[in-house]
Structure 1
Amino acid sequence: MKQGTLIFDEQADRYDIRFDLADYYGGLHCGETFDVLAGGRWRPTRIEMADNWYLVGIRTDDLSGLRVRI
């Protein structure tokens, strides 16, 4: 598994995972699954879109900067 940080790609209007300065996942799509570091432990989740992007089972107002692994 690779670890990275969630970032919002404004051009694509979707979230992506940044692994390194020039290494990106390539854009996340609804239903994609990964783990997020929440409360000091890794939790499985998936990304979805309604009015805004959100992670199923994860309470947060801002997804940008969250540590993830995929």
Structure 2
Amino acid sequence: MKQGALIFDELTDRYDIRFDLADYYGGLHCGDCLEVFTGGKWKPTRMEYGDNWYLVGIRAEDLNGLRVRI
């Protein structure tokens, strides 16, 4: 598994994972599974889109910067 941070790519209008300065996942799509670090532990989740992008079962106002692994 690779660990990085969620970032929003305005060009593609979707979230991506930044692993390093020039190393990106390539864009997340609905249904993509990943884990997010919250509450001191890793929790499995899935990226989805409704009125906006969200992570299933994760309460967060802003997804930018969340520590994730995939």
Q: TM-score, normalised by structure 1?
A: 0.99
SS where residue 11 of structure 1 aligns?
Answer: coil
Deviation of 1:31 after TM superposition, in Å, equals 0.4
User: C-alpha offsets along residues 6-59 of structure 1, whole Å, 9 cap, x if unaligned?
Assistant: 000000000000000000000000000000001010000000000000000000
Match of 1:2 in 2: 2
Unmatched tracts of structure 1, length 5 or more: none
CA RMSD between the two structures: 0.3
Structure 2 distance, partners of 1:43, 1:12, is 26
Structure 1 distance, partners of 2:44, 2:34, is 6
Q: TM-score, normalised by structure 2?
A: 0.99
Structure 2 distance, partners of 1:34, 1:66, is 12
Percent identity of paired positions between Structure 1 and Structure 2 = 76
Runs of 4+ in 1 over 2 A off after TM superposition: none
Unmatched tracts of structure 2, length 5 or more: none
Deviation of 1:69 after TM superposition, in Å, equals 0.3
The residue correspondences of 1:37-56 to structure 2 (distance < 5 A) are: 37-56=37-56
Match of 1:24 in 2: 24
Aligned length: 70
